[in-house]
C-alpha cells in the first residue's frame, strides 16, 4: 500500500464523485445558527439537532436573544441533545461574547472563534468552512477520526493531532469539503460496527479493507 500522501488525491477524487453535493447536515440560515447547531451536535446526532433547532431559532432570534436567555429555559429547549446544562451555558456565554466583543456577528477566524465558550477547533472549522467558505483547518469528528485511522491517514487518537496529520497530506483546495466527504462515506459505507468494504469504491486504496 502506498503512503497516505500518494493515495489521498485519488481518495478525494473518488469520494467527490460518490458524494457530489456534500455539505454539513446541520440545517442553518446563518453563521450564528450553524454555530449554535454545531455546539448542540457534540455527542449528539445531526438528525436530533435538526429536530430541535427550528423551534429553538423561532423562539430565540439571533445572538442578542440567546445572550439574554435564562439558562433554565434554554436547558428545557435543548434537553434532548444531551449535556444540556453545559451546552446551554456555552451557547449563552458565546452569544454574550459575540454581542459584546464582535458587534453581534460571528467572527470569521479560527483565533477569534476559539475564544468563544464551547468552541474548539472542530466547531470553528465547521463554521468557517460552511458559513464563510474559509479553510483554516479540517474538522475532526467521530467519523473523520474513525476513517482516518482505518484508511491509514493518521495513527493518532487526539483530534488535534489527527487534524495536523490531515493538513499535511490533504491538498488545501480540498480542506473545505474533506470533513463532509468522510462523514458521508462514514454514514453510508465505512460504518462504525461493520464497514461495507466490498461495496466501497476506495477499498483498493484502504489498508483496512476486508480486515475489519
Residue 146 grid cell: 474513525
Hey, what CATH topology would domain 4-23+137-205 get? Endonuclease Iii, domain 2 (1.10.1670)
Distance CA 60, CA 39 (A): 16
Distance CA 121, CA 130 (A): 14
Backbone angles phi, psi at 43, to 5 degrees: 55, 35
Residue 81 grid cell: 441533545
Hey, what CATH topology would domain 31-131 get? Endonuclease III; domain 1 (1.10.340)
Residue 3's pLDDT is 95
The domain spans of the chain are 4-23+137-205, 31-131
Contacts of 35 (CB under 8 A, 6+ apart): 94, 106, 116, 119, 123, 127, 131
Q: What is the pTM of this model?
A: 0.93
Distance CA 133, CA 125 (A): 10
pLDDT (tens digit, 9 = 90+) per residue, 93-152? Answer: 999 999 999 999 999 999 999 999 999 999 999 999 999 999 999 999 999 999 999 999
Q: Work out the pLDDT band at 210, boundaries 50, 70, 90.
A: confident
Catalytic residue annotation: 122, 141
Amino acid at each position: 500500500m502506498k503512503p497516505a500522501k500518494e493515495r489521498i488525491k485519488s481518495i478525494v477524487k473518488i469520494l467527490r464523485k460518490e458524494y457530489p453535493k456534500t455539505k454539513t447536515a446541520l440545517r442553518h440560515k446563518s453563521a450564528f445558527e450553524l454555530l449554535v447547531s454545531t455546539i448542540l451536535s457534540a455527542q449528539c446526532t445531526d438528525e436530533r439537532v435538526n429536530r430541535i433547532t427550528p423551534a429553538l431559532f423561532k423562539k430565540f432570534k439571533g445572538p442578542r436573544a440567546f445572550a439574554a436567555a435564562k439558562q433554565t429555559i434554554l436547558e428545557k429547549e435543548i434537553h434532548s441533545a444531551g449535556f444540556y446544562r453545559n451546552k446551554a451555558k456555552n451557547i449563552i456565554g458565546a452569544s454574550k461574547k459575540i454581542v459584546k466583543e464582535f458587534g453581534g456577528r460571528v467572527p470569521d477566524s479560527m483565533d477569534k472563534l476559539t475564544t468563544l465558550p464551547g468552541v474548539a477547533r472542530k466547531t470553528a472549522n465547521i463554521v468557517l468552512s460552511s458559513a464563510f467558505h474559509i479553510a483554516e483547518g479540517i474538522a475532526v469528528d467521530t467519523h473523520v477520526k474513525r476513517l482516518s485511522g482505518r484508511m491509514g491517514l493518521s495513527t493518532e487518537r487526539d483530534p488535534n493531532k489527527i487534524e495536523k496529520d490531515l493538513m499535511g497530506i490533504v491538498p488545501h483546495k480540498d480542506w473545505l469539503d474533506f470533513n463532509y466527504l468522510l462523514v458521508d462515506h462514514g454514514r453510508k459505507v465505512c460504518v462504525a460496527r461493520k464497514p461495507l468494504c466490498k461495496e466501497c469504491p476506495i477499498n483498493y486504496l484502504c489498508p483496512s479493507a476486508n480486515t475489519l
